[in-house]
Chain A
Amino acid sequence: MSRLRLGVDKLSSCSGCINEIIYALLSDPLLSELIEISYFPELQDTNVSEGGFDIFLIEGSVVNREQMDRVKEIREKSKIVIAVGTCSTYGGVQSLRDRIDINDVKRNVYLRPELIEVEEEVYSIPEIIKTDLAVPGCPINGDSFLRLMRKLVLGGGEVLILESLCAECKRRGNECVLTKGKMLCLGPVVPAGCGAICPSFGRGCIGCFGIRGDLAAKDAEKLAARMEKLGLGKREDIISFLMRFSYAKDKEYFSRIVGGGGK
């Protein structure tokens, strides 16, 4: 059996997911046997992109033309494209500068803002190309990512997770930080997958896996209303908290509610 050709590239991100990918690829002999890493500049010197890829993993969000073109080229060359991490799935934290005058944003950081080429908007990968799978997480959970890769190389199909983080808390036997601890927790609207790390550390879920795929961003409003009723914060603050990692899910909606990403 010929080995599957794998490509890994990163766009705008912190590389946290890249490291989880390295962990997943290197900790499983089966993957090393069945996968040939053709393109992965963070890990190796010789990188070949001719001949295409069976699986291509993209970390990070798209913020300029060069990245946009690169993503399209990857799509053309690859059978399966997977958006890895919250940046590539939802735009990530950096998308919070979206819909704000880009010159204002640039001037805040750079001495010569005119030299910096970025788009007005930050895009998730599914906004640019069709992706076959999206694995959220800031960062992704390396162990579940490893299981997904095993499934892919062995010929399994896609997995759709419709379960909330709450289910993981129940399985771990965590006391509910929301009802018992009276803490703001995004668990009810966030997909399971991290292992309920934050509630296990005595704090509410911060939503780094983004809002569940089967929920609309406006469902967040129901959660926010409920949380406000429970006295856990002001509705606007809760929405702002919710969009920290989920902004690109529905930019129109979120920016209408809180007036732009930067607040």
Chain B
Amino acid sequence: MSAEEALLTRVEGEGKARLVFVNGRVEKVEIHIFEAPRFIEYIMRGRRPAEVPEIASRICGICSVSYQMAAATAFERGMGIEVPAEQDRLREAIFYAEHVKSNVLHILYLQLPDLLGAPSSLEVFKKDPSLHKMAVDLFMWSRKVMKVLGGRYHNVVNIRIGGVYRMPEIGEVASLSIDAERAITNARKLSEFVLESVERLPNYQQQIRMMSLCSSIDYPVISREICFEERRFDVSKFEDFVRPEQVPYSNSLRYRTREGVVYVVGPISRFNNSFYSLRSEVRRMLKSFGFAPPLRNIHHSIIARAAELYEFILRLAEFIDSYRPEQIELREPRIDPGTYWGAVEAPRGILYHRYRVGSRGVVEEANIIPPTSQNLLAMENFSMEHLYRMELVEKRESREKLIQEVQKVIRQFDPCISCSVH
């Protein structure tokens, strides 16, 4: 037995991939999450629920809004707290902006070289400066949106249980519309560029067991309902449905269903489960390139990302055009003792939170299950499957090449490693 390992690059956080060889065959792919845990769930104990969204946001700089929203909505729904309509729309808009940020970051800086077979994003940009300009433009616009609506690009300060802290002036929000048209055009072009490039990706069909939030009325971002194939269940039943496990080589827990099924969360699952809730122009764009659900190839996650990028930019632009600030009443909400469940679709998939509040009114127990922890088993399985589907082992490709190919599969999941060891 021998092994080859490499640091995971162009992903968020610290991990490595390890290939185990027996008699020249790859026996196993392991993903070692060696980033040290931060025990944020422990830190939440003894704190008032009002503090929880802010602390939860420190789990991730890229998807902090998802963490804040999952925590806030858990308490709101459990306590029947109605978030006034315009504040609700504002929070959703911040959430869309986060999805845009995350998608642009992933497509352009993390995944682009894999998509085009180039050595780095910088090389691609040298050859195609217009692509870079378009991307930076979009990136900067999403940054501006986050700053105006949420205070800053990472760890926004404008989300609380019950609503927001401040509604920006109508003029501030209107200032975002100046570049909104260009952002829509850029998002569309970037999405089309991705869709055009998909033919370069490995083309095989595989079985993907998909889980996502669902909503009967909309493309899901926040919902109480979870869909797994034909089954639908309430978010409070999530821990009855999945079980954690731990392996010696990873600081991140991993999950499968109680029946033992390895499943996938993230854009590809959302896309397949809720395609018909996407805006008609988004569906038209996809159809013009010949894409429709179900996507049955993990490399095609990027199709879902491209679709979502365009979708969420359109939603943001609609929000900006119809924004109406309302009066805010800042009051710390009453949270009774009890257990509270919440889930959102973070850019990388289902993000689940559970909090138990005790008689002293403080959190006594917290459990957070991030998307990357749920995807880890699938990442290993699909990496292995990829090597054999592409006949890379049979072709006696170098170990370096094999590990590069494994990295490509892992990047399709856009793993957020820091989150997974929260």
Contact = CB atoms under 8 A, between A and B. Distances in A.
Nearest to B55: A93
Interface string A91-110: 01110110010000110111
B61 interface: yes
A128 to B, nearest CB: 14
Interface string B50-92: 0000110011111010000000000000000000000000000
A26 B125 CA distance: 12
Given A15-B418, A63-B38, 5 more contacts: A16-B61, A17-B61, A19-B61, A94-B39, A202-B330
Contacts of A66: 34, 36
Given A14-B64, A111-B253, A201-B166, A118 B36 contact: yes
A27 B137 CA distance: 10
B62 A16 contact: yes
Interface of B: 7-14, 34-43, 45-46, 54-55, 58-62, 64, 105, 109, 113, 119-120, 122, 136, 140, 143, 151-155, 157-158, 165-166, 244-246, 248, 251, 253, 328, 330, 418-419
B1 to A, nearest CB: 21
Contact of A67 (B36, B59, B119): B36
B153 A142 contact: yes
A115 B246 contact: yes
Contacts of A106: 39
A41 B9 contact: yes
Given A11-B36, A19-B105, A93-B40, A200 B13 contact: no
A42 interface: yes
Contacts of A206: 54, 157
A210 to B, nearest CB: 14
29 contacts: A11-B36, A14-B59, A14-B60, A14-B64, A14-B155, A15-B60, A41-B7, A41-B8, A44-B9, A44-B122, A45-B9, A45-B119, A47-B9, A93-B38, A93-B40, A105-B39, A108-B41, A108-B42, A111-B246, A116-B251, A139-B61, A197-B151, A197-B152, A201-B157, A201-B165, A202-B330, A203-B330, A206-B54, A208-B155
Contact of B58 (A10, A92, A112, A261): A92
Given A19-B105, A43-B109, A44-B9, A138 B43 contact: no
Contact of A201 (B46, B155, B158): B158
Contact of A13 (B45, B64, B330, B418): B418
Most chain A C-beta atoms within 10 Å of own C-beta, residue among B36, B245, B419: B36
Contacts of A261: 43
Contacts of B64: 14, 16
The 5 closest A-B pairs by CB, nearest first: A16-B61, A16-B154, A94-B38, A202-B166, A14-B61
Contacts of A13: 61, 418
Contacts of A116: 37, 251
Contacts of A26: 136
Interface in A117-149: 117-118, 138-139, 141-142
Given A42-B11, A206-B54, A22 B109 contact: yes
Nearest to B125: A26
B39 A200 contact: no
A263 interface: yes
B10 A45 contact: yes
A116 B119 CA distance: 35
B46 A262 contact: yes
Contacts of A22: 109
Contacts of A47: 7, 9
A18 B61 contact: yes
Contact of A15 (B7, B62, B119, B122): B62
Contacts of A163: none
Nearest to B11: A42
Contacts of B61: 13-19, 139
B10 A42 contact: yes
Nearest to A45: B9
A176 B166 CA distance: 15
A54 interface: no
A198 B38 contact: no
Nearest to A202: B166
A97 B158 CA distance: 26
Interface in A226-263: 244, 261-263
Residue among A11, A94, A115, A118 facing the most chain B CB atoms (10 A cut-off): A94
B14 A10 contact: yes
B181 to A, nearest CB: 22
Contacts of A141: 152
A66 B330 CA distance: 45
A88 to B, nearest CB: 13
B418 A14 contact: yes
Contacts of A45: 9-10, 113, 119-120
A261 B155 CA distance: 22
A133 B328 CA distance: 41
A12 interface: yes
Contact of A97 (B42, B140, B328): B42
